[in-house]
Structures are given as structure tokens and as C-alpha cells.
A and B are shown apart, each in its own frame.
Chain A
């Protein structure tokens, strides 16, 4: 069964090829069945492979499969080879399963779109690239998948390319992530130059042997890889592209910009965790960046009126939690939150897609309201996802994953009460903005007429994801609540446990209770400010401080302004100035001189014969004079 591993990334690629070559000639049903069918088959194979992996684990809890040697240059022989261990398996299942549901949803969501086959071709290419990234055995193949998903992200953000704003957003996403990718490429060069391989397992082993903890090379290499992860996962300071990426179709936002691609940075750090363990400075930088990002993005999410932008900032904030977990060495907690986040955030985006389509492309939450009765399935699933995002205690998946992160941020060796406090503040913000969306969209008076009700293919994924957003958390119960660490036990074959330093079960219970309390307080605050006493929020907003802060947070803490002023502006100015190249002056000058002489001489061509005769006579006189004088 494990031998079928190669089929998992190949099937979506095959689907992409078929759709790209003959897609426009197929009927819509044909396109949908190829687009969804390839992912469904891939998911089926992934399930088979996983069940066989779990039932009879291969030696060393990892399975490698080499398809062929990619290239051979000197001692450098990267293979097209796949590597499956606990970490890759979890990622693979999440990617295939969430992709399948979102593809199914898209068949109905995109039904009236002209680019139907183009959409599914890109989506299949994305899934294939993402699976390549996840299953790659060496960093070069991982980088191929990494760039592949970046390309698909660009293509799908700019999917409705006739609007120049969408093209701008796509370009911004591509260029900003390119900054990180360049750092990552340099990191790969550095690793290969010093360790002589890019095969991940060898690399980690050699790094641990060759480099002592805290050595300059280990710090440089991990910092460069971190740069790549920051760009892809939209963390500070490279997070500015994600809110604009919402220009793409909503299923794209759900799949690429919430559930899978943006978590690639988390996966990369978890995959190369031995390297980060060698560089404690960089690892604590990861934690600090994560904490800062989750707070900043949480504040920005509070002030947005566009439902998709709230979710985008929320994604940045939740990935901040994952980075926080990675930074304190809680590898399993980060991957656990990645999984639950993939479920509930995909569900939130899909629900938002239903709402947007039902209200005829309305993105403004303040123009929505009262949809509870008109879209009941969407309402209940969206409510479950929001509860999961807000970490409603005991019954939601988000509670267990976020609680695990907060607990390890407190208790792990690299953790500190400060990081925990940042996480708690973020949790409060999260539950406020999550339920602000729910209350504004689904409660209150109805403001817009629903024009289109979602069909079965849009509602089924919502229901399945809602179930997962609840039961997804029960695979990992903390020691105070049943003590069932199935998920982290499974991952410990691939990722080490975080060494616990302070606190016992009693502390854990206290922290859990406070986290639960914070979540409930946040929901109550959202209820107060959005439904019960909106005039209080208004008056708060009308104070000078409130207005300034709102504007500042709404603009994402001014990062766009900062980059536009200090990076984009000077660059564009320089490009404009350098457009007329200095070297060109010489050649342009020669051409100009010749042209001027030509004009001068052609002026003597008057067409008057007598002038020519005069010229000849004068010339003869001059030549004879010269001959006589000399």
C-alpha cells in the first residue's frame, strides 16, 4: 500500500494537465468531474496509504520512495523522492481532505464563471504542488513545490484579471513572498555548501554533528529558512500581502490563503526543527514574531468591515499562534493547531463565500444582518467555526489546539509568562472579532435580500467541515481533561516533545480555566458591542483616540504605508530614472548627430538646377585654386 505514495501528488498534476490541454473543450460537468475526481482519487489513495502506515508502521516510522534522480551535478544528486513520516502524513491528509471539500464547493460556487476549466486547472496544479512540498524528501524538491504553490497563489489571486486591482494584489503577493523565498534559496545554498546535501534527514543529522548549539552558521541557515517561512506564512514583517490576496475567488482564499499554502512556513520550520534547535536565538525570534503578529493582526481584524479581510487578518493571527508554538519548541502543538485551523478557517471562508454570493457580491458586514433565518445551514456551520476560532471551551477543536499552545508557551523551557500573556491577549481579541462577524452578519435586522440560496454541493462541505471543527480536537486531550494525547504521540515519531519546565497539572487547570474565561468574556464583549449596545461602540469610536486607533488598525498598523514610502516608492523612482540608460546616451548621441547632419545636407538638395551649377563652378574654382597654390 505504501508503494502507492507517488500517486498522491501525481493525480492532481494529471488532472491539471488534462484540464489545461483540453479543458476549454469539455462541458462544465466534464471539467468538474476531472477537477474534483483527481483530488478525490488522491484523497482515497492518501487514506489507504495512511491506514496502512498507521496499521503497520514501517521501520523507523518513516517511508521513503525514490522515483528517479532529478539531476546529477558533481556530488549533487537530488532525487524526485518522497518521504512519509508522521508529520508529512498529517499534512498530506489535511491538504487532500480540505482540498477535496473545497473543490466540491467550487463546482457550485464558480458555476457561472467563464474561466471554469481554468479555475480547476489552477486549483489542481496547486494541490499537486502543495503535496509535492509536503511529501518532498529533499529541500530542493520542497522548494519546487514551494514555488509551485506561490505561482498558483499568484494565478488565483489574479483570477479575475480584467480588474487591474486584482492584478495588483496578485503582483503584491508574488513580490512580497519572493522576498522571503530569496532568503530561503540563499539558505539552501548555505546548507548545501557546508553540509553537502539537501536530503532533509541527512541534512539534519549532519547539522547536529557538525554545528554546536548556537554556532554562527546554524543561526544564519535557520534565520534564512525562517525568512522564507515568514514570507509564505504572512508573518511580521512580510504579512502585508495576505489581506490583499482576498481579491481572489472565495474558495481560493479558503484553500490557499487559509487552510494550506500559508501554513507551509509552519511546516517548513517543523520539518527542519533540528536546525532551529541548534539556533536558540532564531527559535526565540520565531516565538516573538509569532506573538507580535498574532496581536497586531488581531487588532487589525477588529476594525475591518470587509468580511473576507477580517478572516484574512484572523488567518495571520492564527498562524502567529503556530509560530509562537514553534518558537517555544511545541512542534506537535503547532501542527495540531495547523490542522484544526485548516478545518475551521476553511469553513469560515466557505461560509463567507455563501453569504457573499447570497447577497450578490456584498463584502461589507455592516450591510449584512439577519441572515440567521434565511441561510440556516450556513449560519450554524459558521457559528461552529467561529466558536472553534474563538476557542469556546470543551466542545470545539480550536479550544484544544489553542490551549495546548498556550500551555506550552507557559510551561516549555523556551516559553515564558510574557509569551503566554501575549497569547491570552490574542485569544481575547480572537473571540471578539470572531463573534463580531457572527453578530453583524447573522443577527440583527435584515438589511439585504438574499438572492441565491446555496445548493447541496456548497452545503455538504460546510457540514463536514463543521463536524471536523468540533471532533478534530478530540484526538488530543490535555492531561487535565482525559489525558488522551493520541495526536502528539503519533507525531512524536517525527517531532520531539517540548521539554516541560514549570507547572504541573494544577497550574494547567488554572491556565485552562483562565483561557476559557477569556474566550467567554470575548464573546460577551462582542455581544455587548455589536448587538446590545452598538451606540457604546460608536461613542468609543468617536473619541479622538478611538478614531486615530481605528484608522491605524484598519490600515494594518501602517505597514503598507511604510513599505510604499520607503521601499516601493524609491524603487519605482529609481527604475524610472534608470529607464534612460547612461550607456544609451553614446549610441543615441551618434544616431542623433547623424540625423542632424542628414537634415543639414538634405537642405542643400533644393531641386534648382542653377544652384547645382553654382555649386559645381564653386567647387571647380576651389579645387583649381588648391591645385595652383600647392
Chain B
């Protein structure tokens, strides 16, 4: 099986991470922010997979399983936050929750 070159895999991972980061910074809707965070997590997971396949090690895939688990946990907390935000501020705009300023 022709292997994908590592550079291409890492490039995709980097692009995905950057897209996710831009999404986090630019979006104001908290659901889109959570989606962008998922993209960043998956970008990191992809980098692990690519690295694992490059050196023929299973550790990369193990790491990805961890990341999936953690992402599930993160989404449960994140959705709880979404509910709280909607409940308190009647909006999903993250900038509305800016009471804790100096």
C-alpha cells in the first residue's frame, strides 16, 4: 500500500489546527467555538496518527483514542456551559459573558 508521505499528513494537520484556532478566535457563537475546538483536537489527533505510522509505532493510535475520550468529556462540559449560557443570558454569544473583567 502506497503510504501517504508524512509531510502531507502533518501539513493537513497544521492547516486543520490553524482553521480550528481561527474559528475559536473569530466566532462568537459558543457552539461554533466548541466545533472549532473539536477540529483543533482532531488536528492534533491526526498529527499523532501520522507520526505513529511514520515510525511504525502503535503509540500514536493509542494517543488518538485518549484524545477521542477527552473530546467526549470536553463536549459534555462544553454543552453544559452552552445550556448555562442560554439560561442566564438568553443568547449564545460568548462576549455576553464578560462580567469578570478587572
Q: Is the CB of A609 within 8 A of B101?
A: no
Is there a chain A Cβ closer than 8 Å to B54's Cβ?
Answer: no
Q: Is the CB of B102 within 8 A of A604?
A: yes
Where the two chains meet, the residues of B that have a C-beta atom closer than 8 Å to any C-beta of A are: 21, 24-25, 28, 94-95, 97-102
Is there a chain B Cβ closer than 8 Å to A610's Cβ?
Answer: yes
Q: Is the CB of A607 within 8 A of B100?
A: yes
Given A605, A606, A607, A617, which contacts B25 in the complex, CB threshold below 8 Å?
A: A617
**Interface contact tally, CB-CB below 8 A:** 33
Please measure, in the bound complex, the distance between the C-alpha atom of A21 and the C-alpha atom of B97, giving whole angstroms.
67
Instruction: Jot down 11 A-B pairs with beta carbons below 8 A, ordered by A.
Output: A603-B102, A605-B102, A606-B101, A606-B102, A607-B99, A608-B98, A610-B24, A613-B24, A613-B25, A617-B21, A617-B25
Q: Is the CB of B24 within 8 A of A608?
A: no
Q: A589-624: which have CB < 8 Å to B? A: 601-610, 613-614, 617
Q: Is the CB of A610 within 8 A of B102?
A: no
Q: Is the CB of B21 within 8 A of A606?
A: no
Q: Is the CB of B25 within 8 A of A609?
A: no
Q: Is the CB of A608 within 8 A of B95?
A: yes
Report the minimum CB–CB distance from A598 to chain B (whole Å).
9
B30 (CB) vs chain A CBs: closest residue: A609
Please measure, in the bound complex, the distance between the C-alpha atom of A53 and the C-alpha atom of B100, giving whole angstroms.
91
Q: Is the CB of A609 within 8 A of B94?
A: yes
Q: Is the CB of B25 within 8 A of A614?
A: yes
Please measure, in the bound complex, the distance between the C-alpha atom of A39 and the C-alpha atom of B94, giving whole angstroms.
88
Q: Is the CB of B28 within 8 A of A610?
A: yes
Taking A605-B101, A613-B24 as known contacts, 4 extra A-B pairs with beta carbons closer than 8 A to each other, sorted by chain A number, are A602-B102, A605-B100, A607-B99, A614-B25
Q: A563-581: which have CB < 8 Å to B? A: none
Please measure, in the bound complex, the distance between the C-alpha atom of A617 and the C-alpha atom of B25, giving whole angstroms.
9
Please measure, in the bound complex, the distance between the C-alpha atom of A602 and the C-alpha atom of B24, giving whole angstroms.
24
Please measure, in the bound complex, the distance between the C-alpha atom of A613 and the C-alpha atom of B94, giving whole angstroms.
12
Contacts of A614 on B, CB cut-off 8 Å? 25
Q: Would you list the 9 A-B pairs with minimal beta carbon distance, nearest first?
A: A605-B102, A607-B98, A602-B102, A607-B101, A607-B100, A608-B98, A606-B101, A605-B101, A609-B94
Please measure, in the bound complex, the distance between the C-alpha atom of A605 and the C-alpha atom of B28, giving whole angstroms.
18
Report the minimum CB–CB distance from B40 to chain A (whole Å).
10
Counting chain B CB atoms within 10 Å of each CB, the highest count among A601, A605, A607, A614 belongs to A607
Report the minimum CB–CB distance from B13 to chain A (whole Å).
15
Contacts of B101 on A, CB cut-off 8 Å? 605-608
Report the minimum CB–CB distance from A609 to chain B (whole Å).
5
Q: Is the CB of B25 within 8 A of A610?
A: yes
